[in-house]
Amino acid sequence: MQIKDDLPTFFADEKILEKVFEVLLQNTIDHVDKSKVRIILTCKTTEKEHTVSIKDNGVKIHPEHHDKIFKIFQRIDSTHSTGIEYRRKK
């Protein structure tokens, strides 16, 4: 894994962020040749927000699926991915 930018310190729900990174990184590991896996983490910061990006050399998502796959709790039928399944404990 390569980290391109300094990562900021910010306040967020630790469990949610942990799950997001877990799902994204596991997806890469599941869909790439294990001997050639490459993950690049970047963060761009403005006065209003932090934008964290993860880029990998895994299987790409075909553009026809972008509308569906980038909505939370959606998945492409041909994959075994279940999407984000975090449930906050009450």
Please name the amino acid found at residue 87: R
Instruction: Characterize the bridge pairing of strands 39-45 and 2-3.
Output: parallel
Q: State which amino acid sits at residue 48.
A: K
Q: What is the pLDDT of residues 8-30, one digit of tens each?
A: 887 888 898 888 888 888 888 88
Question: In one letter, which amino acid is 85?
Answer: E
pLDDT exceeds cutoff 70 at 77: no
What's the pLDDT tens digit per position in 26-43?
Answer: 888 888 888 888 888 888
Q: How far apart are CA 64 and CA 66, in angstroms?
A: 6
The SS3 of residue 55 is strand
pLDDT value at residue 86: 43
Q: Structure pTM?
A: 0.59
The per-residue pLDDT for 64 is 85
Q: Which residues contact 77 (CB under 8 A, 6 or more apart)?
A: none
Neighbours of 72 (CB within 10 A): 6
